Structure 1
C-alpha cells in the first residue's frame, strides 16, 4: 500500500493500515506501508494521529479498496483547514 502526502504542516501525523502497521509521516511525498497485502485482501487506511498544528487537519482520499492483482498506490493524504466550531 503506497500513497502520497501533500501540504503537511507540523509533526505527529501517523497513518495506519487495517488497524495496524502504523506509519509516522514526517514530510510531503510518497509513503509505503511495510506490510504487503495479498491479492483479494481488503485495506483500509486511516489517520491514527493528526499533525500537531491544531489549525490544520489531514483528510484521506481513496483510503480503502480490495486488492486486485497489484498493490494499491493511489491513497492521498491532504492537509486542510480545521472546521469551524
Structure 2
C-alpha cells in the first residue's frame, strides 16, 4: 500500500485516472475521481477508514484526516503509474 498526503485542491494521477481532493472538513473529505474519454467526474464523500474503488484493482482508503490534510492509502497492482499534481 502506498500512502500519500494531499491538501484541498491537490491531485494525483493513478494510471489514467485523476483523483482530486475537493474539500476537507472536520471528519470527512470529498474525493473527485475523473478518467479519460467520456467518463464524468465521480464525487465521493468519505469518512475515516472508508474506501473508494477506482477500478476493480485500484482502491483508495482514507487513513487520516487532520486539519488541512488527508492521508490516503492506495492499493494497486505492480506497475501502476503514480504522479502527484
Give TM-score scaled by structure 1 length. Answer: 0.34
Query: Which of the two has greater strand per residue?
Result: 2
